[in-house]
Amino acid sequence: MPEDGLLSDGESLFVSPGILDIEYLPRLLPYREEQQKYLADCIKRLPSVGTNVLIHGPSGLGKTACVRWVFRELKESEETAVPVYINCWSDTDLHKMALTICSQFGISTAYRSPDELVSVAMHRLKSLRAVVLAFDEIDRAHDQTFLYNFLEAIPHRCIFMISTKRDWLTNLDARVRSRLMPEAMEFRPYSREQTRGILEERKKYAFVHGVWENAAFEIVVDKCLEAGDLRMGLALLKAGGLAAENEASRKVTREHVMKAIGKLGIDAPEGKRKLSDF
């Protein structure tokens, strides 16, 4: 180690920075075991019983990660149900959803009209013994009556609907709501101990051992708790590490975290936060 305690050329504080990405899905998903078991039990009842579930709670509490974790386990198991994930933020209407479904099943979409795509996608899902559909950010879809198509076309299915809005169901068309009859599963905020545990686990595998000063890490935990969003903690871990590397520091200090907070606009008014950086 150099006497001045500075990083040498090509040296990094990071071991696996991808572990701090929002999309990263760990092998273990701590503190959400109860929710994982609940969703897995819903799937196990297929094809005889199809359960629809509204998964709700604020952003950054692991709703999507929990569903993705269950889907990964389903793909690796011998269960007959097939998982299909749709993000309604980008797939805002039935046509776009059909494109995504066809893509997931390797079905060519060339030279097909929107109506043909929907028909092909629905026929493929109907041909399966059982289907588990997850509609993430479902409140972002332009017209929630698209659910009627899936309810009508697919006899043996579970539908998981992920939303930050518990009252989203009240705005549904009465025909759709009466057919869905969903159960509700709420994701509550992590405690301080849970938040620290999750961030500590990510830090452990993302960074070289011992590079984070305790005081700096506790600031990350505090800010993550204030926001009630785990994504902010992950963003701060990454930005704090980069701030230290930019100064060739072998330690991530309180000052580096404070610089990261300023860069991400975390202490700025809500409307001016750089959420895209998270």
CATH class label, 17-24+191-277: mainly alpha
Out of 66-70, 72-76, 124-128, 167-171, least confident range: 167-171
Is the predicted pLDDT of residue 100 greater than 70, yes or no?
Answer: yes
Residues 93 and 141: beta-carbon distance below 8 Å: yes
Instruction: Tell me the average pLDDT across 194-201.
Output: 96
From the CB of residue 206, how many other CB atoms can be counted at a distance below 10 Å? 21
Tell me the C-alpha distance between 168 and 54, whole Å.
Answer: 9
Q: How confident is the model at residue 4 (pLDDT cuts 50, 70, 90)?
A: low
Order of strands, sheet of 183-186, starting from the edge strand that comes earlier in the sequence: 82-87, 131-136, 157-163, 52-56, 183-186
Q: Is the pLDDT of residue 142 over 60?
A: yes
Which pLDDT band holds residue 166 (cuts at 50, 70, 90)? confident
Higher pLDDT, 94 or 8: 94
Mean pLDDT of the chain: 91
**pLDDT tens, position by position, 246-278:** 999 999 999 999 999 999 887 644 444 443 333
Which two structure tokens, joined as six digits, stand for 48? Answer: 């005889």
- C-alpha span between 109 and 121 (Å, rounded): 10
Dist. CA 205–CA 212, nearest whole Å? 12
Whether the CB-CB separation of 107 and 120 falls below 8 Å is answered with yes
How would residue 9 be classed by pLDDT, with cut points 50, 70 and 90? confident
Mean pLDDT of 179-192: 93
- Report whether pLDDT(91) > 60: yes
Q: Is the per-residue pLDDT at 89 higher than 90?
A: yes
pLDDT classification of 144: cutoffs 50, 70, 90: confident
In this structure, what token pair is assigned to residue 117?
A: 């795509």
Q: Which residues is 249 bridged to in the sheet? A: 6
Contacts of 254 (CB under 8 A, 6+ apart): 213, 215, 216, 219
**Model confidence band, residue 69 (pLDDT cutoffs 50, 70, 90):** very high
CATH architecture of 33-186: 3-Layer(aba) Sandwich (3.40)
The token pair that represents 252 in the structure block = 């991530």
Non-local CB neighbours of 199 within 8 Å, separated by 6+ positions = 217, 220, 221, 224, 230, 233, 234, 237
Confidence (pLDDT) at 79 = 83
User: What are the boundaries of each domain within the chain?
Assistant: 17-24+191-277, 33-186
Give the relative orientation of helices 114-126 and 146-153 as an angle to the nearest 10 degrees.
40
Cα separation, 115 vs 5, in Å, equals 64
pLDDT band at 19 (very low <50, low <70, confident <90, very high): very high
Work out the average pLDDT over 140-168.
91
Q: Do 17-24+191-277 and 33-186 come out as alike in CATH topology? A: no
